[in-house]
């Protein structure tokens, strides 16, 4: 079991945090069974645990069973009392500045999410209502900045990648930063850190003091992918579906690096949206890239998309191997097209309102064994619906690999069963097996990977 030094501390927010009402503070106080408190405790522990080499949320939570966080209301706002917290988050008794910022960002997002859910104007039963909800969450986090030219590049990829792949992501991030582009990732390690690290150097070279390093996460994944310290804007969305929608609404283009099941989930989500008939003419640059050594992986992922979603999906992205400068140039050109498109249609630069997202991509998917076994993985459905169900399959695998609830379900009931047509299952099985062989399912150095799924055709 993971064991680390612990510390007790009292922390106040740096700058200002909106004053919380007594009811909001009460919601967060430990009540023994309060779901809001448990959620904040989990997120706080993950943030304080930044730098851990574990990607198992259950293991991390079990390593600090006596960790507590208490919220105290005071005249000038609030104060957090941390008991048995990870000592690595402190230097000479003072909390590291980036950790403190992210800790209070988590408090902000969780309190606001809960208050919004109690707001009668929130409509989570319609596509428009869900998009409006995501908009309000991002606006409350001050992520949406009107009048700023499009320049936010979303970078997706795995947290368990090789050293060469990680170095490549830094090179791409460096080239993006030289061109004045900002970085948005899932905020964790690996591909979620590399582009930000590269961009910090090039932003410094260009004397760009306003570089943005936006991290979007959700409670179920944050413990497995604790925020990296480069993130200067952290937003915690309520679930994976809201997180994915936030990526495509605030991003102006997306780069996909090597990864595992989570990256495949994100890629399928994106392609399922872009292949919707309403988005046929909407510009949205997407690049699949990696170093020369990742060429076979990139080709395999490209072939999987062709075998399942077809050529129409493959045409929505460009594959570039081992050329960071070309990736950045292509992305910069694509974002110029996005800017022109939105100007012509008077659409906002900071939030992609024109992008059509089908409801099948918006409602939360709970990966129970029954739900995984009953996924419709056949060709007798529209292309974007097949993409949505394939996305759910990979979402379940991610849950079984790293999320606390998913890990517990696998321990209790055994592997998920994924069923479907042979022409879909066989490419899926080959891709998943390659992920296992290439150590893309979990961080190396621990026990051998035990699949949380069985593919049945």
Per run of 10 residues, the mean pLDDT along the chain (length 457 residues) is 73 65 64 68 83 55 80 74 88 88 86 76 90 94 92 93 95 98 93 96 96 92 81 92 96 96 93 93 97 94 95 96 98 97 94 94 93 95 92 93 86 94 95 89 70 90
User: Biggest alpha carbon distance in the chain?
Assistant: 64
Q: Closest by alpha carbon to 394, among 380, 379, 406? A: 406
DSSP one-letter string for 224-258: TSPPPTT-SEEEE-SSHHHHHHHHHHH-SEEEE-S
Please count the other Cβ atoms lying within 10 Å of the Cβ belonging to residue 21.
Answer: 12
**Domains in the chain and their CATH numbers?**
4-120 (3.30.1850.10), 145-456 (3.40.50.450)
β-pairing, 90-91 vs 94-95, is: antiparallel
Sequence-ordered alpha helix ranges (H) in 275-382: 295-308, 311-314, 324-344, 369-373
pLDDT tens digits, 377-432: 999 999 999 999 999 999 999 889 878 788 899 999 999 999 999 999 999 999 99
Residue 242: what pLDDT?
A: 95
When computed from its CA atoms, the radius of gyration of the chain, rounded to whole angstroms, is 21
According to DSSP, the residues that pair with 70 across neighbouring strands are 81
How many angstroms separate the CA atoms of 65 and 84, rounded? Answer: 9
Q: Whole-angstrom Cα distance, residue 90 to residue 69? A: 16
Q: Is the whole model's pTM more than 0.75, yes or no?
A: yes
Instruction: Please give the structure tokens belonging to residue 378.
Output: 């056949």
Count of residues making up the chain: 457
Residue 333 confidence (pLDDT): 98
**Rounded to whole angstroms, how far apart are CA atoms 407 and 350?**
37
Closest CA to 4 of 70, 81, 89, 69: 89
- How far is Cα 141 from Cα 390, in angstroms, rounded to an integer? 31
pLDDT of residue 316: 96
pLDDT at 247: 97
Residues 87/7, Cβ–Cβ less than 8 Å? yes
Contact in structure between 204 and 326 (CB atoms under 8 Å): no
pLDDT for res 27 = 61
């Amino acid at each position: 079991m993971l064991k680390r030094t612990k510390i007790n501390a009292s922390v106040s927010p740096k700058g200002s945090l909106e004053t919380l009402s007594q009811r909001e503070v009460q919601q967060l106080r430990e009540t023994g069974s309060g779901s809001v408190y448990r959620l904040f405790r989990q997120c706080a522990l993950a943030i304080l645990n930044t730098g851990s080499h574990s990607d198992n949320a259950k293991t991390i939570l079990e390593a600090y069973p006596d960790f507590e966080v208490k919220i105290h209301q005071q005249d000038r706002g609030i104060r957090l009392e941390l008991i048995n917290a990870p000592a690595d988050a402190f230097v000479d008794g003072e909390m590291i500045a980036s950790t403190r910022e992210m800790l209070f960002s988590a408090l902000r997002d969780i309190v606001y999410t809960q208050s919004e859910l109690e707001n009668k104007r929130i409509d989570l039963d319609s596509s428009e209502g869900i998009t409006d909800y995501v908009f309000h969450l991002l606006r409350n986090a001050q992520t949406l900045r009107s009048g700023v030219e499009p320049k936010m590049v979303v970078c997706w990829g795995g947290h368990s990648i090789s050293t060469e792949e990680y170095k490549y992501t830094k090179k791409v991030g460096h080239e993006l930063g030289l061109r004045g582009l900002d970085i948005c990732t899932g905020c964790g390690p690996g591909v979620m850190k590399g582009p930000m690290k590269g961009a910090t150097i090039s932003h410094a070279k260009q004397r760009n003091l306003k570089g943005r390093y936006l991290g979007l996460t959700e409670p179920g994944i944050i413990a497995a992918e604790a925020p990296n310290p480069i993130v200067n804007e952290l937003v915690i969305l309520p679930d994976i579906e809201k997180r994915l929608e936030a990526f495509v609404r605030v991003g102006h283009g997306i780069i996909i690096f090597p990864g595992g099941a989570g990256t495949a989930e994100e890629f399928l989500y994106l392609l399922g949206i872009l292949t919707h008939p309403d988005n046929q003419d909407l510009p949205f640059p997407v690049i699949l890239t990696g170093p020369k050594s990742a060429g076979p992986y990139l080709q395999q992922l490209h072939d999987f998309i062709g075998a399942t979603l077809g050529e129409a999906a493959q045409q929505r992205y460009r594959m570039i191997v081992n050329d960071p400068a070309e990736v950045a140039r292509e992305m910069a050109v694509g974002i110029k097209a996005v800017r022109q498109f939105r100007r012509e249609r008077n659409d906002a630069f900071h939030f992609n309102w024109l992008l059509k997202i089908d409801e099948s991509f918006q409602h939360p998917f709970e990966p129970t064994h029954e739900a995984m076994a009953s996924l419709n993985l056949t060709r007798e459905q529209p292309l974007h619906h097949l993409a949505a169900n394939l996305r759910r399959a990979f979402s379940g695998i991610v849950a079984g690999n790293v999320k606390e609830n998913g890990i517990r379900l696998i321990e209790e009931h055994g592997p998920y069963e994924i069923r479907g047509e042979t022409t879909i299952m066989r490419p899926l099985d080959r891709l998943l097996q390659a992920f296992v062989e290439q150590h893309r399912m979990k961080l190396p150095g621990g026990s051998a990977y035990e699949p949380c799924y069985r593919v049945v055709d």
